C-alpha cells in the first residue's frame, strides 16, 4: 500500500498526556491533513495508566480538533504507522538529550521502513521541561499540576495517585 505523507502519527507513551504533548498536537494538526496520536506500551516505564485509560484521556483532550484522533497500539511504532497508511511519524524534541535518543531511534525506524519519515517539532520554551517522568512524582507529592495538565487529565492523575497511595 502506498503511504500518505499528509497523514502523521504522533507516537509516545502519554502517561498521561500533558500540555507539552498538546502543544505538539496543536501545531502538528495544522501541518498535516490528519494526525493520529498513537499511544504505545512501554513496560520499562511502569505506566500509572493502562493503555486504554491513556487513549481515553488523549481522546478527551483532542476532542475539539476534528482532524486529530487517538489510537492505542502494541509492538513496533513503524508497523503501526504503516498499518494506518501514514507516511510520517511526528515526534517532539525537548532538549539536546532528547535529540540524541530521538536521532538514533529515527535512524533505526528509517532503516526498518524507508518510506516512513520522522518529523520533529521543537518543544515550546515554556514546555521544554515538562515530561511524564517529572509530573508523576509531582502528583505523588501533591504539587501543583494545573500549569502542565488540562483539567480532566489533572483530575484523573490526582485520583490515580490517591488510589495508589491508599493501596500501599
Residues that bind ligand ADP (CB under 6 A): 12-15, 20-21, 24, 91-94, 98, 123, 127, 130-133
DSSP labels, 14-66: -TT--HHHHHHHHHHHHHSSEEEEEE---GGG--SS-HHHHHHHHHHHHTT-T
| Residue closest to ligand ADP, measured at CB | 20
Q: Kindly tell me which of 83 and 133 has the beta carbon lying closer to ligand ADP.
A: 133
Provide the b/e sequence for 78-91 (b: ≥16 CB within 10 Å): bebbbebebbbbbb
Q: Kindly tell me which of 21 and 154 has the beta carbon lying closer to ligand ADP.
A: 21
CB 5 → ligand ADP: shortest distance, Å?
19
| Closest to 49 measured CA to CA, from 38, 58, 61 | 58
CB 20 → ligand ADP: shortest distance, Å?
2
For residues 1 and 85, the answer to whether their CB atoms sit within 8 Å is yes
Q: Kindly tell me which of 101 and 166 has the beta carbon lying closer to ligand ADP.
A: 101
CB 158 → ligand ADP: shortest distance, Å?
18
Q: Kindly tell me which of 80 and 127 has the beta carbon lying closer to ligand ADP.
A: 127
In the chain, the N- to C-terminal Cα span, in Å, equals: 50
CB 14 → ligand ADP: shortest distance, Å?
5
Query: What's the rounded Cα separation, in Å, for the pair 155 and 160?
Result: 9
CB 105 → ligand ADP: shortest distance, Å?
9
Q: Kindly tell me which of 20 and 87 has the beta carbon lying closer to ligand ADP.
A: 20
Residue 155 burial (CB count, 10 A): 12
Amino acid at each position: 500500500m502506498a503511504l500518505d505523507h499528509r497523514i502523521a502519527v504522533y507516537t509516545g507513551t502519554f502517561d498521561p498526556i500533558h500540555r507539552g504533548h498538546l502543544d505538539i498536537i496543536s501545531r502538528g494538526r495544522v501541518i498535516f491533513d490528519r494526525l493520529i496520536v498513537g499511544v504505545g506500551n512501554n513496560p520499562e516505564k511502569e505506566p500509572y495508566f493502562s493503555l486504554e485509560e491513556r487513549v481515553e484521556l488523549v481522546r478527551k483532550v483532542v476532542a475539539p480538533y476534528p482532524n486529530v484522533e487517538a489510537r492505542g497500539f502494541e509492538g513496533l511504532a513503524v508497523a503501526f504507522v504503516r498499518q494506518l497508511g501514514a507516511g510520517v511519524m511526528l515526534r517532539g524534541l525537548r532538549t539536546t538529550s532528547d535529540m540524541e535518543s530521538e536521532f538514533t531511534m529515527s535512524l533505526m525506524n528509517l532503516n526498518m521502513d524507508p518510506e516512513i519519515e520522522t518529523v520533529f517539532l521543537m518543544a515550546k520554551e515554556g514546555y521544554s521541561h515538562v515530561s511524564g517522568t517529572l509530573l508523576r512524582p509531582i502528583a505523588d507529592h501533591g504539587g501543583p499540576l494545573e500549569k502542565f495538565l488540562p483539567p480532566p487529565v489533572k483530575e484523573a492523575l490526582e485520583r490515580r495517585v490517591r488510589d495508589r497511595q491508599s493501596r500501599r
